[in-house]
Structure 1
Amino acid sequence: MTRNARGKRRAEFARAGCAALCLAATGAVNATDGYFSHGYGMRSKGMGGVGVALPFDAMAGANNPAGMAWVGNRMDVGIDWFQPRRSAMRSGAAPGLNGSARSDSNDFAVPEFGYNRMLRDDLSLGITVYGAGGMNTDYPGGQLNCGAGPNTANLLCGSGRLGVNLMQLTVAPTVAWKPAAEHSIGVSPLFTFQRFRLVGAQAFDNAPGFPPFTSSPGNVTNNGYDSSRGFGARVGYLGRFDRLAFGASYSSRIHMSEFSKYRGLFAGQGDFDIPARYAVGIAVEATPSVTLAADIERIRYSSIAAIGNSSASPAPLGAANGPGFGWKDVDAVHLGVQWQYSRAITLRAGYNHTSNPIVANEVTFNILAPAVVQDHVTLGMSYALSAETEITAAYMHAFGNSVSGRSLFNAVLGPGAGGTESISMHQNSLGIAISKRF
């Protein structure tokens, strides 16, 4: 390699790194398969979220790092308009505790970025930047009485607006190698950044008239934003066998530093790690112009105490085995079809089904995080402006779903006094990306 070629390559990676940092600064909001996105990359999103055995672009580092060895030299930049609609309601409770509210935060811009360079025909180096998860709710205050007078409290008997904002952003440098012509392996170190804020949960901060819920008073709510950082890894394999491709990937648990401002909220003194995920997938070339693909993914939410511990845990909030959101592990099935309609136009469609992480006896805390959608349909299209440049669009609709159960306030106020609660959500997203091959 000449000195000029090496300098050009360093400059390309520097530009890619700057773009990644700019995207990382914007944060992300997703909540489809639990709190992970139904797919990563607009081509994947338009095809039900498949991608383990079918690498489309430089976003492959978020699905299966082994796929980066197949996508060539390219850069992909996109943005998704994500619109989740959330609501919560309590009924049948003691006077002053019944009410309902809708979250006022409904529109979010979610960026994505991928860059890949083939160092040799069998070796690639790239970087993928994506939202690893996140949720945002923003309920108005003043629906309830809660013993302080009419229209003075929010749905969780705190004061002012009620809501949570969790943003997670992952930067994944990726190396992929083909040990044989039709087989590749890849690895991605995962560098993740989180920001978190909770407002309106004063009733759980050892407030007067309420039980002592937390082990660390003053570190539960209304402390502004806190941040944490962590590291994990993703590995993957991809093999092609005539018209069939098979892929597998594993993402480790990402161990994050604690949210010290909320050490009285999350189990383990503010510990909020990101769960492990693993997936397998197949892709079949049904005809020269039609490809079918399917992925199965499991997300280990129950392994993270702050997420998986029951909200009815007898330990106080923030303790080593303190209450969490009570989420179960989920299995997500991704199905997709791609049709090369013409040299310039590619059409896609897909379906995604995920099991529900929230069960009936865990509704109260999940008013803050009502991730109950299960069924998604998607559409997508790519249009080639030239041999090097392509525009891709993707649409997703997640059908409305709800979960109802007895309120945790029954344990505080007496059987029946807390009534029954219900949380609901449906979603839409529409995204666009531009790709450049070089």
Structure 2
Amino acid sequence: MKKLLVLVITGILPIIAISQSGHIMQGIGAFNMSMGGAATAQPLDINGALHWNPAAIAAFDSKVFSANAGLFFSSPELSSTVPTPSGPFSGVTKDDKGISIMPAIAMVWGKKDSRHTFGVHAFGVSGFGVTFPENNSNPINMPQNKGGFGRIESNYMLMQIGFTYAYELSEKFSIGLAPTFNYSALELAPNPLASPNREKGYPAADNAYALGFGGQVGVFYNSGIGIKLGASYKTQQWFKEFEFEDSYLDGTAAPGVNFKMNYPAILSAGIGYSKKEIDFALDYRYVDYKNTEGFEASGWTQTASVAGFGWKSMSIVSAGLQYKGINKFPLRVGYTYSSNPIDEKLAFFSTPATAIIKHGFQLGFGVEFNQQLTLNAVYHHGTSGGATKGMLLSPMMISESNQYGAINGSEVSYKMTTNLLMFGINYSFK
């Protein structure tokens, strides 16, 4: 059984801890999150406008500051099955990472009689982390000396800073642009990008950093009778390579490995409607993973490490509704739908893609202390809508008729739920 597990799992580790990267945060800040992230054509809050459509900040005619922080908890589960002479051997491992903090800070400078509006922001736009402990009951998490690879741990974050400018071409139409600068960090244990050593197994990587840049352009139209339209394009965020320094479990140094992982381009289009006590927002986004370095390739290298994740481009639909009928206490609900970028035959290459959330539900509110200060809050619950699953793959099983090395009778699957509690303040300098 040990030899069979070694054969099966030889191909698993190169992907196991990196697959959540590229996760698109559905909203920024408590207000925007409570609207399902929809803001491309409905700039009710500066965070959503700055992140999704730079032209939309033209809707603000004063200086506004916003700060938000959230407590994020996810509960991924990783399952695997391998065939044995005595029948299938299966197990499940649950994540025990705990709570993560999600920050957002932003400011917009606008004036009533000016066509120019400026903004700046620092947002955590992507991040993940898993901690799957060693588990003798799950083939994937068995110790390496028993054919598995033990504890799996990863941490990834992407912080984005942007400087935004919007210009009003007329009372109804504005354009905007925003250069963006990025900082990302990634830590992997074991390192899924390193080639295995026959005697020492797979090494672990230190915390590696990479800087990147990109930009965004947008247009915004306000009819003046309630209907609003908006569209924006955020370029791919181009990063330098992560330069990992690896070490084996026995503490000896391992050969380093470099890996480039960009952030995908995003095309957004939206419609908004406001009248009296109601604000409605609906957005559609196209996320171009297919043409993003680090995601577009698939398969194995000649040294049994991964060549790429083979993600498809994905679609996201966000909708939000705000009710202002209660004095100084607006209520908000939001929903977000995301398609799955992972093809079933390539599901193994994204094990475990715990950042795939199909349905997101949000409930939020605001407390308007006065015309200047508002407290916003939101609760989010997300679900993957079932498990993403596929066959286990091994480079040792590759043949002309078996391109990825699929192992008959095997399976790997992963699913998760997410919960978030976030608070934020908006202060208008009047």
TM-score range (shorter-chain normalised) is: 0.7 to 0.9
Three-state SS of the structure 2 residue aligned to 1:42 is: helix
Q: Which residue of 2 aligns with 1:244?
A: 227
Which has the larger share of strand? 2
Three-state SS of the structure 1 residue aligned to 2:342 is: coil
C-alpha change, 1:151 and 1:238, in structure 2 (3 Å) is closer
Q: Which residue of 1 aligns with 2:317?
A: 333
RCO comparison, higher one (Cα < 8 Å, 6+): 2
1:63 pairs, out of 52, 63, 69, with: 52
**1:248-278 Cα deviation digits (max 9, x unpaired):** 0100011101012179xxxx94111111001
2:351 pairs, out of 336, 353, 367, with: 367
**Residue 157 (structure 1) shift:** 2.8
CA RMSD in angstroms comes to 3.2
C-alpha change, 1:359 and 1:415, in structure 2 (3 Å) is closer
Please tell me whether residue 122 in structure 1 is matched to residue 122 in structure 2.
no
**1:168-188 Cα deviation digits (max 9, x unpaired):** 000011111111111111111
| In structure 2, distance between residues paired with 1:313 and 1:179 | 51
> Structure 2: 5+ residue runs without aligned partners?
1-18, 247-256, 399-404
Alignment of 1:262-281 (within 5 A): 269-281=258-270
Three-state SS of the structure 2 residue aligned to 1:429 is: strand
**Residue 296 (structure 1) shift:** 0.3
**Residue 142 (structure 1) shift:** 4.2
1:419 pairs, out of 386, 407, 410, with: 410
C-alpha change, 1:202 and 1:334, in structure 2 (3 Å) is closer
- Residues 353 and 414, structure 2, Cα contact 8 Å, conserved in 1: no
How many residue pairs align between the two structures? Answer: 390
- Residues 376 and 396, structure 1, Cα contact 8 Å, conserved in 2: yes
**Residue 143 (structure 1) shift:** 2.7
- Residues 217 and 233, structure 2, Cα contact 8 Å, conserved in 1: yes
C-alpha change, 1:122 and 1:221, in structure 2 (3 Å) is farther
- Residues 372 and 402, structure 1, Cα contact 8 Å, conserved in 2: no
Q: Which residue of 2 aligns with 1:223?
A: 205
Taking only the aligned residue pairs, the percentage that are identical comes to 23
C-alpha change, 1:128 and 1:32, in structure 2 (3 Å) is farther
C-alpha change, 1:243 and 1:102, in structure 2 (3 Å) is same
Q: Which residue of 1 aligns with 2:80?
A: 90
Q: Which residue of 1 aligns with 2:335?
A: 351
**Residue 376 (structure 1) shift:** 1.2
| In structure 2, distance between residues paired with 1:88 and 1:161 | 12
| In structure 1, distance between residues paired with 2:136 and 2:347 | 18
2:66 pairs, out of 70, 76, 91, with: 76
| In structure 2, distance between residues paired with 1:392 and 1:330 | 30
Q: Which residue of 2 aligns with 1:392?
A: 376
Alignment of 1:301-312 (within 5 A): 301-310=289-298, 312=299
**Residue 359 (structure 1) shift:** 2.3
Please tell me whether residue 108 in structure 1 is matched to residue 100 in structure 2.
yes
Which has the larger share of helix? 1
| In structure 2, distance between residues paired with 1:391 and 1:156 | 53
Q: Which residue of 2 aligns with 1:26?
A: none
Three-state SS of the structure 1 residue aligned to 2:67 is: strand
| In structure 1, distance between residues paired with 2:316 and 2:192 | 35
Q: Normalization by structure 1: what TM-score? A: 0.81
Three-state SS of the structure 1 residue aligned to 2:380 is: strand
- Residues 93 and 138, structure 2, Cα contact 8 Å, conserved in 1: no
2:241 pairs, out of 234, 258, 268, with: 258
Three-state SS of the structure 1 residue aligned to 2:98 is: coil
Three-state SS of the structure 1 residue aligned to 2:263 is: coil
Letter of the aligned partner of 1:139 in structure 2?
A: F
C-alpha change, 1:340 and 1:230, in structure 2 (3 Å) is same
- Residues 135 and 369, structure 1, Cα contact 8 Å, conserved in 2: no
Three-state SS of the structure 1 residue aligned to 2:244 is: helix
**1:139-186 Cα deviation digits (max 9, x unpaired):** 112436989xx952399932x421221110000111111111111111
| In structure 1, distance between residues paired with 2:74 and 2:180 | 27
| In structure 2, distance between residues paired with 1:383 and 1:357 | 38
| In structure 2, distance between residues paired with 1:145 and 1:394 | 36
- Residues 33 and 362, structure 2, Cα contact 8 Å, conserved in 1: yes
- Residues 68 and 422, structure 2, Cα contact 8 Å, conserved in 1: yes
Three-state SS of the structure 2 residue aligned to 1:67 is: helix
**1:395-420 Cα deviation digits (max 9, x unpaired):** 11112431111101485498646711
**Residue 100 (structure 1) shift:** 2.3
| In structure 1, distance between residues paired with 2:417 and 2:374 | 31
Letter of the aligned partner of 2:161 in structure 1?
A: V
C-alpha change, 1:199 and 1:227, in structure 2 (3 Å) is same
Q: Which residue of 1 aligns with 2:7?
A: none
| In structure 2, distance between residues paired with 1:151 and 1:385 | 55
**Residue 97 (structure 1) shift:** 6.8
**1:368-408 Cα deviation digits (max 9, x unpaired):** 43223201111111110111100001111112431111101
Please tell me whether residue 186 in structure 1 is matched to residue 176 in structure 2.
yes
**1:212-248 Cα deviation digits (max 9, x unpaired):** xxxxxx9x85121000001100111111112110000
1:166 pairs, out of 153, 156, 159, with: 156
**1:39-60 Cα deviation digits (max 9, x unpaired):** 1232111011100001122212
Alignment of 1:126-141 (within 5 A): 126-141=119-134
| In structure 2, distance between residues paired with 1:378 and 1:155 | 44
> Structure 1: 5+ residue runs without aligned partners?
1-30, 211-217
| In structure 1, distance between residues paired with 2:294 and 2:203 | 15
> Deviation above 6 Å: which 4+ runs of structure 1?
31-34, 144-147
